[in-house]
Structure 1
Amino acid sequence: MAEREDLELPRGIALAWGVAANPQRGPKREMSVEQIVEAAVQIADAEGLGAVSMAAVASRLGYTPMSLYRYVTAKDDLILLMQEEATGLPSEEARTAGDWRETLTALYREQVTLYLQHPWVLEVPISGSPVTPNSAAWMDAGLAALDGTALTHDERLSVLLLVTGASRWTGLVLAGYARRQRSSGEAPDDITLHEDALYRALVTEDAYPHLRAAIDAGVFLDESDPFMFGLERSLDGVQAYMDRVADGRRPERVPWMGLDDADIAPDKRYREARKAVREAEKALRAARRVERQVAREARERAATAARRAE
């Protein structure tokens, strides 16, 4: 496919790549896009993404909000640049960790660490792939790990999406627990014990037999890493797929599911049908709760009758 010579870059992406036009003459004091982004990242690290505004950044730098617009013309552009700054570049240690599997695992761990250092990045809405230098470097590192394997380019990208998705989910969960620890002052072990106690008190065998069995087995007290277990098993699957390809048994790719529902979401009759389904599912759940309650009461009556008969 030919590259488009007339492609107009969005302002934020142009700033990230360093190809944006210089701002008009600014205030007397020196200021730069880098300073603005650094100040915004500091605010987000300390107070969360919601605390970032042009006014807050300007105040931190000692300028008026209007002076910032000479450099960054929209808040969305600022957030893109903040994400780029927080993401940084993959380390050389991660890029050269070993074979494809070891390298992808090292990149995964490094991404999770970045999410814990800058948890607000997880709050940035996903509206597409961020076409920025640092994001491109992470993608390149992941694809480089798979270079030389039997996977096609689209298969390599799919594996990369698997790993980055796993790191994002892990970061989301761990950042949430870290936030709770900071706000409550609880130790990690105390949180674990409290959650286990809640599950044991509320989850019954008759209502949730499989979950209760897992609770009794101590799954919520287990100290192993469930996220790493999932990643390792996923990479096992990638290796098994590579072995199949090496044997000449490459299966057909499943077509992308796309966003078909998004096309019809505004349709009134479709929304009403979806609402009816949700209400029916809610009624079914309520009926099952009643069924379980009645079953418990019946068993209690039967047990009482049996004791009296003795």
Structure 2
Amino acid sequence: MDDTGAGDPDLPRGIALAWGIAADPQRGPKREMSVESIVDAAVELADAEGLGAVSMAAVAARLGYTPMSLYRYVTAKDDLILLMQEEATGLPPEHVREVQGWRGQLEALYRAMVQMYVEHSWMLDIQINGSPTTPNSAAWMDAGLAALADTPLSQPERLSIMLFITGQARWCGSILASYARIARDEHMADDEISRREDALFRRLITAEAYPALRAAIDDGVFLSTSDPFTFGLERGLDGIQAYLPRAAAGRHDQPRPWGADDGAEIAGDKRFREARKAVREAEKSLRDARKLERIAARDARERVRRARTGA
């Protein structure tokens, strides 16, 4: 019995197809065709040319059919993209559940997610519309929650940790995919890309306008071979490890509502609102002033260059 009061929602056709519970088309071409073959062709096309190359007409041409033939199986492009995402996501690797300890399992899931984005970078171009509700996506979430099953963490805390893992993996995959695209399109090695970025930042970032960032640049941060994403992941897992005794003692942290801040209780106070407004205006003025400073510095460098060259 449904105790949420929501009842059973109608399933969109794309989700029903993903779960294998959508009705098959009654009529169609006699030649071999299936939802699976359509999705496979679309994934191959996206892997080769990107998500923007995927259309019902392009997939149909790849299979040797007319676009109308495809619509008998997949009635909308959005459904096709959902099924492509499900196919590319696949199931979490079997070895993950064999890794010892919750931390090792989460790290293995993270690495597998990053690899998934590297292999199918077009998935990063798909708009996120709520929580994923397809079988393979559910399997990844289940694997992460299973890794935390023997911890004293509450269910909301376990879900929060999985959101941290998936978010870190998606962000890492996005950067790696971007660098891979630059390397492919501009025929550059990783170290060449790093040197170019370092030179660009050294030219644009001044100690006067951005003192902290300039100090990092001077320290060679853009030439470092360390992995910032793994560092962030490990420090996050360190924090979870340190939190476990609190959870075991029943002292669970209660997440604040979305958008809450320390000033929520006094947000209605007139003087407080005026002070916050003044801060925002001051911050805007500072940003504008720094912009003018950058322009003036650029013009000054150009004048110096011209004076030196006699141009």
Provide the residue aligned with 2:92 in structure 1.
90
Q: Deviations over 1:97-127 (max 9, x none)?
A: 2211110011000000000000000000001
The alignment covers a number of residue pairs equal to 279
Q: How much has 1:278 moved relative to structure 2?
A: 9.9
Output the amino acid matched with 1:100.
Answer: W
Provide the residue aligned with 2:37 in structure 1.
35
Q: How much has 1:256 moved relative to structure 2?
A: 3.2
Aligned partner of residue 24 in structure 2, secondary structure: coil
1:54/1:109 Cα in 2 relative to 1: closer, same or farther (>3 Å)? same
Provide the residue aligned with 1:2 in structure 2.
3
Instruction: Could you tell me which runs of 5 or more consecutive residues in structure 1 were left unpaired when the two chains were aligned.
Output: 259-276, 298-310
* CA–CA separation in structure 2 for the residues paired with 1:6 and 1:126: 23
- Normalized against structure 2, the TM-score is what? 0.84
Instruction: Could you tell me which runs of 5 or more consecutive residues in structure 2 were left unpaired when the two chains were aligned.
Output: 261-278, 300-311
Q: Deviations over 1:49-85 (max 9, x none)?
A: 0110000000000000001011000100000000000
Q: Deviations over 1:137-165 (max 9, x none)?
A: 00000000000101111110010000000
Q: CA RMSD in A?
A: 2.5
Q: How much has 1:285 moved relative to structure 2?
A: 2.2
1:289/1:36 Cα in 2 relative to 1: closer, same or farther (>3 Å)? closer
Provide the residue aligned with 1:113 in structure 2.
115
Output the amino acid matched with 1:55.
Answer: A
Provide the residue aligned with 2:145 in structure 1.
143
Aligned partners of 1:104 and 1:163 also within 8 Å: yes
1:151/1:283 Cα in 2 relative to 1: closer, same or farther (>3 Å)? same
Output the amino acid matched with 2:245.
Answer: D
Matches within 5 A, 1:117-136: 117-136=119-138
Output the amino acid matched with 1:180.
Answer: I
Aligned partners of 2:92 and 2:140 also within 8 Å: yes
Q: Percent identity?
A: 66
* CA–CA separation in structure 1 for the residues paired with 2:124 and 2:187: 23
Aligned partners of 1:94 and 1:110 also within 8 Å: no
Matches within 5 A, 1:165-204: 165-204=167-206
Matches within 5 A, 1:243-282: 243-257=245-259
Q: How much has 1:286 moved relative to structure 2?
A: 2.9
Output the amino acid matched with 2:133.
Answer: V
Aligned partners of 1:206 and 1:292 also within 8 Å: no
Aligned partners of 2:90 and 2:136 also within 8 Å: yes
Provide the residue aligned with 2:70 in structure 1.
68
* CA–CA separation in structure 2 for the residues paired with 1:167 and 1:111: 6
Aligned partners of 1:94 and 1:107 also within 8 Å: yes
* CA–CA separation in structure 2 for the residues paired with 1:122 and 1:147: 29
Provide the residue aligned with 2:309 in structure 1.
none
Aligned partners of 2:153 and 2:248 also within 8 Å: no
- Normalized against structure 1, the TM-score is what? 0.84
Q: Which of 1, 16, 22 in structure 2 is aligned with 1:20? A: 22
Provide the residue aligned with 1:233 in structure 2.
235
* CA–CA separation in structure 1 for the residues paired with 2:95 and 2:222: 33
1:205/1:255 Cα in 2 relative to 1: closer, same or farther (>3 Å)? same
Output the amino acid matched with 1:207.
Answer: A
Aligned partners of 1:55 and 1:64 also within 8 Å: yes
* CA–CA separation in structure 2 for the residues paired with 1:295 and 1:89: 54
Output the amino acid matched with 1:229.
Answer: F
Q: How much has 1:231 moved relative to structure 2?
A: 0.6
* CA–CA separation in structure 1 for the residues paired with 2:183 and 2:258: 40
Aligned partners of 1:95 and 1:107 also within 8 Å: no
* CA–CA separation in structure 2 for the residues paired with 1:118 and 1:291: 42
